[in-house]
Amino acid sequence: MPERGPDPAGSVQRLLPSDPSAIAGYRLLGRLGAGGMGVVYLGRTEAGELAAVKVTLSGQADDPDFRARFRREVEAARRVSSPWAVPVTGADPEAPEPWMATAFVPGPSIAEAVAAHGPLPVRSVRILGVAIARALAAVHAAGLVHRDVKPGNVLLAVDGPRLIDFGIARTTGESALTSTDMVVGTPGFLAPEQAEARGAEIGPPSDVFALGCLLAYTVTGRLPFGRGAVDALLYRTVHDAPDLRGIEGDMAALLAGCLAKDPAARPTADQVAERLAEDEPRGADWLPPEVVRTIAERSARMLALPDIDLTRGGKPGPAATGAGRRRVLLLSGAAVLAAAGGGAALWAGLSGSGGSAGSPRKRDWVIGVQADLTGPQKRVGAEQERGARLAVDAFNARADRPFSFALRTADDRGDTIRATAVAREMAEDRDITAVLGSTGDYTTQAVRPLYEEALLPLISVSAGLNLLTAADNRAFNRTISSHPEIASQLAYSLQRFYSLRLKRRKARPGLIQDRTDDEYSWQYTVRFNQLMQTVYGHHTLPRVVPASVEDYGPVVDSILDARADAFLHSGGPRTTAKVAKLLRERKFDGPMLAGGHALDPEFLKEAGEAAEGWTIGAPVGDPTALATARPFAAAYRKKYGTAPGYYAGEAFDAVNMMIEEVVGAAGGGKRPSRETLAGALRDKTYDGVMGYYRFDPKAGGLTGLRTHLHGVKQGRFTYIGTAPTEDPGRWKG
């Protein structure tokens, strides 16, 4: 649980009645964050200095192993002396509720900055690299290994970055308190020796490897070993070359050295600092202006903190006056306000204008949309946003409406880090009654716990990972079938083709697991392979293609040489098009199947004539082909001047469900609680333009199976209909 600045929205949460009002000499002003281990508070000393105060839960403190780990964290942080590491300002690991305070940094983390503003300029990254390398050199000089260098553990300030969180640091050569075969750290920023849990080999070079990952991410916005399932990510870290595209010159050579598989081949932290050879930051100009503005805005929000709330600790002593609080903050924040060029405007904003501060604002009725509008799935995200807007507009046009809805849209760019920032903002906005989103599998996976914690209803119409509905959910529902469920219906469709059309009892389908989208492809091929082999008794020909492979020819040829009579490719539109072209060149005439991600105009464009004859199993139907959706399709064309996309209809239905339940629960105009609305949506059955919806009462998945088949004819997708369904008892489990 790192010592962080404010959350991505730049706000400090109010204290709960159960929170203490003070810890040791720190008055607590608000919450910065909370986790399974405890809470991080924003605290202030009697002298007016701000601190991030981490307090562990009393239940954790009763665990001797946990207390020993916390004691080690305090000791490790105290041993590091560097201007680029956040210093410890106080701690008591022996207290009934152990606590530790560190200097407060109001700036964003690298993760937040890159998510909000994109990769940093090369000069900024070089200066950042010098500072963090020197911080790691101090860590290593103290006989420690940090073991969790990642974007979330580096905060950005106008005078340079700060390394935080020594929660899993350990002494060089020390046996970990955790199991020796446990992978400790953050996948994507682990060295190969950490990924394989080779405890004896974990040392300072492991931190240098993580620093290489950190700098590569900061300058490109990409993880050097990609994203996806943890086991696949760890495998690529150990075996694959890093993705350093777009990095040039000495920076590329240095990062390649940092990311060497052999720890002995990596430079030391001191050598990294020397090779980057940039001046240390001496002002805000080391950061791009938009990041400086973010720091300025956060510093300004600190000036507007409310007085201390009465909490568990009883009536607090006299708090510093507003003027005193501002005076202290100005000592650390005046420079950044001036550097942002907006000091006067920020002060004016804090003073307010018009209306009494005590008069409550009338709350709006808002539906939130969290979508990828500018990232890799921007087409799908735009379809969802349009469908949602059409639903809101249709309701607001009704003469009998009790109130009107507004639509609040946020672009998470398909990035998991930015997605969590968006979700926090949505969850904190008490006007928002329910949310549609997110667009992608991995962004939805990242934000679901945040919406669950806030009990803010979230409906996904496009995320198909099975884990999203594999555990208990109270606030999350999904209107589509999961990837494995769709794979199951594709398998049964092919089985029917074999038995009814070809009269075959034994067949040889080929399967390509495309690791450019690892988790999605794995879920498709594993379920499809399982059914074809164990249920239907066919001889499958599976192949796995690493993400780095560009030439699919040898893979396709090896399957054809084994006498394959059908193909399933589970990947995105570009790689599906590669396979389609190869099969056309080889004159393959058997069934060719693909998963839902191939239902994309890019597949038609890239494959050309080779797309003809392919069948795609997708979670959504075609609104222009369904009789029930004709009025919706007509209204969509009238508003947007084009036919609705595949996911627009599902979004239209989902938002109509939300509106119907909000209105139904808002008796007498009273706003229903989020918990009430979440329960009502879970129990709801709804007959929409795209189909019938009913949710699993425990996990929120769509009950029953619903896969839509789309074919390619004359260069266009043609809707075939819903896939045939077999008794699910034969394959579930």
Residues annotated as part of the active site:
148
Helix intervals (H) in 31-141: 58-61, 64-79, 110-117, 122-141
Query: Residue 246: left (phi > 0), alpha (psi -120 to 50), or beta?
Result: left
What are phi and psi for residue 3, nearest 5 degrees?
-85, 105
Find all residues with CB under 8 Å of 393, minimum gap 6, and list them: 639
CA 660 and chain centroid, separation: 29
What are phi and psi for residue 314, nearest 5 degrees?
90, -170
Distance CA 292, CA 333 (A): 11
User: In Å, what is the CA distance from 654 to each residue of 392, 480, 651?
Assistant: 11, 11, 5
Widest Cα–Cα separation across the chain: 86
Q: Which two tokens stand for residue 151?
A: 């974007």
Distance CA 250, CA 262 (A): 20
For residue 336, give the 3-state DSSP assignment. Answer: helix
Distance CA 456, CA 677 (A): 8
What are phi and psi for residue 702, nearest 5 degrees?
-70, 130
Closest CA to 214 of 88, 206, 287: 206
Sign of CA dihedral 581, 583, 586, 587: negative
Distance CA 528, CA 486 (A): 9
Distance CA 248, CA 12 (A): 40
Closest CA to 613 of 715, 514, 533: 715
Decide if 702 contacts 694 (C-beta within 8 A): yes
DSSP of 2-67:
----S-TT---BPPPTTS-SEETTEEEEEEEEE-SSEEEEEEE-TT--EEEEEEE-HHHHT-HHHH
Instruction: Say if residue 610 is exposed, middle or buried (CB neighbours under 10 Å; 0-12, 13-18, 19+).
Output: buried
